[in-house]
Chain A
Amino acid sequence: MASSAAQLTCSALNGDQAVCENFGGLRIWAPNDVVYREGLEELKIGIETALDEHSSLDKAGLLFMLGELIGERIDKNVVGAILGAELRCGRVEEVLCASLSNKVFRIYVGVSVRERFHDRIRASTELLRAKRHIKVSELRDLFFTQAPGTWTQASHLLAHMVFHGTAVYVDKYKAAWPTGLENAFR
């Protein structure tokens, strides 16, 4: 029997008991009210748990973690709608990052770890200012264990610094302090 979360869908359902709710223009359907309420709760708790256990996750990482936690594949549009509701209510923070090709991407930080995330950004910025170059693996060793996924979380710290302008990419694995900015001040 599929979990309630896995039964939620963005495709219209037939049936007398089918229910739907609007999430920012996207309708989530469930076969009945009980499945709807249980599924919603499972996903909210799943998102909260996944973000509590990680410094940050991108959407693909969050989908993977939800799949692991719930034990089934969840419709990515449903996850997007519920994540949107969590963002709307201020229970999750979206953080902007820059990729190596200067494309913006977004990561998600849970409220319970938000302060720690921003402390790490401040510490990483100071470290980069002092060292001039820093590798993602150095940040991983400094802030995280060797568990799977921690390199990606460390790379998010650098990606946010690049977005903000306090770092520039050397390559995918390394960033540099944007030298010359201090000299910009006359």
Chain B
Amino acid sequence: MPSVEVLAASCVATRSGWQPLVALVPPNLLVLDRFGTLVDVPIEVQQVGVDTITFLGSRAAFGPFAPETRVLESDGGTCRLGALVDAGDVRDHNYEATISGVAREFRNVSDYGLWHGLRWLACASTEEELVVRCVESSAPVPRRVRSVDRAGIRYLVIPRATLADSVRADWCSFVLELGRALFMREHDDRLEIPAMAFVLGLWYVSALSATGTGFRFAYDTIQHSSYLFVHHTADVAAGGAVPGSTAFRRPLTEKVVRLNWTDPSWNPLVNGFIVVGS
């Protein structure tokens, strides 16, 4: 039975959108089958311990993995992320861009992944509402979300119920409005998303792709990034190989889970990358 180790905080593509693995009970994931088609299949998730958070980023995907995670390269080879970070040669590796195709497969979109990312950013939260500081106070506030301005800083107060309703009604529009309100830096014409809130970036670019706008991820440096920057582009990349842009460890540990599945030809999509079982 093929299996791969990833982090419980890693986000997988599902019919309900990008969701952290901790949220999936029972887990059904979108995987690429032998024909390169996205199919919805059950996968077993097993907790196996803790390990260092290891980020991998390209122009088209970004997120945290376990050091033992193996990611598929566009030439058919694989790389173990811990070894990739140690070697420091991420730009010599190419990966398939997948996100623009994934958004088309979202059906019954759930707010859990968004809530999970927002909670990480929140400066105050309850089970029902949370407050997040905006990068700037110039972008319009999404409908049904309240803003509070203090000393030139804008905060958004986001009720869970509003998030759930808005996502259910029109997830693309809501995610785009929310992303711009929270993260847009007008001067640089880009979104600035703290790296640990990467799931919000995955949702945002999926919404962009679904509405026919392209995107490009960018980072602080090749060796490390505290941010996931999102740039808008005119063309929607249909796929293809893109070089790695950054790979690094953070001095934090996180729960590791093992994904087990039955068909050796399946490859799950994790954080927008194609992972490989062994």
Interface residues, chain A, CB within 8 Å of chain B?
Answer: 22-25, 84-85, 87-94, 96, 102, 104, 106, 111, 114, 162-166, 168-170, 176, 178-182, 184-186
Contact = CB atoms under 8 A, between A and B. Distances in A.
Interface in B237-265: 247-251
A106 B153 contact: no
Find the residue from A114, A184, A186 having the highest chain B CB count within 10 A: A184
Contact of B248 (A87, A162, A170, A181): A87
B83 interface: no
A17 B153 CA distance: 55
B64 to A, nearest CB: 12
Nearest to A168: B151
26 contacts: A25-B221, A87-B223, A87-B224, A87-B248, A89-B249, A90-B248, A90-B250, A93-B250, A102-B152, A104-B192, A106-B226, A111-B251, A165-B153, A165-B155, A166-B124, A168-B150, A168-B152, A170-B151, A176-B151, A181-B123, A181-B131, A181-B148, A184-B131, A184-B148, A184-B157, A185-B157
B86 interface: yes
A89 B105 CA distance: 36
Nearest to A25: B222
A104 B148 CA distance: 21
Nearest to B146: A184
B249 A88 contact: yes
A90 B153 contact: no
A85 B126 CA distance: 38
Given A22-B88, A92-B251, A181-B150, 8 more contacts: A24-B223, A84-B223, A89-B86, A91-B251, A94-B226, A165-B155, A170-B151, A181-B123
A178 B153 contact: yes
Nearest to B247: A88
A114 to B, nearest CB: 6
Contacts of B151: 168-170, 176, 178
Name, among B88, B129, B136, B224, the residue most crowded by chain A CB atoms within 10 Å (CB to CB).
B224
B133 A164 contact: yes
Interface residues of B, number: 34
A178 B52 CA distance: 34
B132 A165 contact: yes
A106 B223 CA distance: 15
Nearest to A87: B224
Contacts of B223: 23-24, 84-85, 87-88
Interface of A is mostly: mixed
B85 interface: yes
B88 A85 contact: yes
Interface string B134-164: 0010000000001010111101010000000
A84 to B, nearest CB: 4
Contacts of B131: 165, 181, 184-185
A139 B128 CA distance: 33
Contacts of B124: 165-166, 181-182, 184-185
Contacts of B129: 184-186
Nearest to B147: A184
A170 B152 CA distance: 11
B123 A166 contact: yes
A81 to B, nearest CB: 8
B101 interface: no
A96 B124 CA distance: 18
Given A84-B221, A87-B223, A181-B131, A93 B153 contact: no
Lowest 6 A-B CB distances belong to which pairs? A165-B133, A90-B249, A165-B123, A84-B223, A24-B223, A87-B224
B194 interface: yes
A23 B88 contact: yes
A162 B189 CA distance: 23
Contacts of A90: 52, 248-251
Contact of A88 (B132, B226, B248): B248
A166 B223 CA distance: 30
Contacts of B136: 102
